[in-house]
Amino acid sequence: MTLSRAAHLIGTTRAALQRKIRDSELPSHDGMVSTDDLLRIYPEFNLEDSGAFERVARIKEESFGRRVQERMLPRAEILAQRLFAQGQELADLRRHLRRYHDLVVAVQQRLSELAAAGPAPDLAQLGNFVEHGLAAVLGSSEPTDQLAVMDDVLKIMSAHVTVRPSGREFFVEGHDSLLKAGVRAGLMLNYGCGNGNCGLCKARVISGELRQVQNCDYVLSEAEKQQGYALLCAHTAVSDVVLEALEAGGPEDIPEQRIVARIRSIAPVSALAADTLLLQLQTPRSNRLRFLAGQSLTLGLVGSQEDFSATYPVASCPCDDRNIQFHICRPANADGDGFAERLFSGAVHVGEDISLWGPWGDFVLPQDPGAGGPGHRILFLACDGGFAPVKSMIEHATAVEAAESLTLYWAATRPAGHYLANQCRAWADALDDFRYVPLSADDAASAGRMAATTAQADIAQLEVFNIYLSGPAAFVEAARQSLSEAGVPAERIATSLI
């Protein structure tokens, strides 16, 4: 099976399997691995404890309720097509096995005829060998390959998609369109409205079968239809699919957008952080917002007589382009952030409209998949609210396996400065290649020097890391100066001022 399927079943990442292949622990041929080798490498694997088994069991237990159908199962007609395709595959396999069986029987009969025609001990021995071998095969009762069986089950529930030329992969599950599934998996596919009107998400289908699941106003030309183009927002995958599609190569490929979103919630970001609000906005279904992890947006109050606007980094992953989060810190003085002051004063309420303008900034991860190859390591140094864009980048890097390792040093200069420490500890527990180090300092400049010197003491060959600094200007400048003095090349350091 493919690495993506294997990782999906075992409950690990493609990067982890690729490391085992590089270390010669896991044999691979043309990107494929065998179930026997997987079980040898992961002897502790228990199918009944795996996420794949749990998903199947949950569907069975909940009797295909509507919620389960929408989130986990494809539409009925697509499910039927996949079952039919698997039935065809099974019928083909049975036909081939029958032909092989008939061939072996014919060889056995021919050997018997040749042996009967005259003394030929070698032919008699060969005939006995074929007879006993066939009997052994027909009488064998080897245990079922559970991984292979579960892989067949999951092929019915989800389709595997490969995008060229980047080589990125994702799975389409439930009622998701190709676009929705790709964005959720962290891919920066080209799209606009996401509603079948603009045509920006069109891609060429190299192999596989699609089915339209949404009406669209955009009409492909006859030439595009002949070449196999389809709108990703309006189609889902029936079978495994290979696409040729545009992906953003950097901030310059993300267009400036202006949309109106609605406030979904305003609340303290955690129980211990009364001075940091989590502002959650939801964009219209017909007008989503594209951005790269680490970028910022300008927010404004719709209908206000005064110009209450401010720019904040997005704190959520681009994989959810409708629900956008921001971490808003309480202003330190009365002449500070007017937008934030109105949030903390209660003058802005859930359900009100907020204008979004952007995205801005080049504080982003490398979009080239080759940059996330062997040896690619990322170090984040954040201070107080500078954690917001870092959170977005960590979630995105984890979704697309963009790095071999992720390390976060988060410095706090005020009480409850580590306002999402539990989230960081949860990442450290769940991810093999994530490390979290909390720090405390009296001011931003001290925090910058402390974070940089602590990282230098902890990490060998710091100069080979891609380093991201996020926080107040004093923090960023102090950390950058310390890293430069330690020999870290300037091109390895990216900064975001909060």
Q: Does domain 369-497 have CATH number 2.40.30.10?
A: no
Q: Of 38-42, 286-290, 305-309, which gets the smallest average pLDDT?
A: 305-309
**Phi, psi at 67, each rounded to 5°:** -60, -45
Domain at 158-251, CATH from 3.40.50.300, 3.10.20.30, 1.10.10.10, 3.20.20.70: 3.10.20.30
Query: What's this model's pTM, rounded to 2 decimal places?
Result: 0.76
- Assigned fold of 256-360: Elongation Factor Tu (Ef-tu); domain 3 (2.40.30)
Calculate mean pLDDT across residues 37-55.
Answer: 64
413 alpha carbon, distance to own chain's centre:
33
Q: pLDDT (tens digit, 9 = 90+) per residue, 260-299?
A: 999 999 999 987 788 999 999 999 877 888 999 999 999 9
Calculate mean pLDDT across residues 105-133.
Answer: 73
Q: Residue 332, CB half-sphere, CA atoms under 13 Å: how many?
A: 5
Distance CA 205, CA 331 (A): 51
401 alpha carbon, distance to own chain's centre:
7
Q: pLDDT (tens digit, 9 = 90+) per residue, 207-258?
A: 999 999 888 889 999 999 999 999 999 999 998 999 999 888 889 989 899 9
What percent of the chain clears pLDDT 70, i.e. is strictly above it?
85
Distance CA 86, CA 382 (A): 50
Distance CA 252, CA 369 (A): 17
pLDDT score at 68: 43
How many residues are present in the chain? 498
pLDDT score at 142: 61
pLDDT score at 149: 65
Q: pLDDT (tens digit, 9 = 90+) per residue, 132-152?
A: 776 776 666 666 566 666 666
Of the candidates 9, 3, 10, 176, which has an alpha carbon nearest to the alpha carbon of residue 78?
A: 176
Burial 352-382 (b: 16+ CB within 10 A, else e): eebbbbbbbbebbbebebeebeeebbbbbbb
Torsion of CA 244, 247, 252, 255, to 10 degrees: 100
Calculate mean pLDDT across residues 363-390.
Answer: 79
- Each domain of the chain, given as residue ranges in start order, spans 1-39, 158-251, 256-360, 369-497
- Distance of CA 482 to CAs 243, 433, 452, Å? 45, 25, 6
The neighbouring-strand residues paired with 10 are none
Contact 363, 389 (CB under 8 A): yes
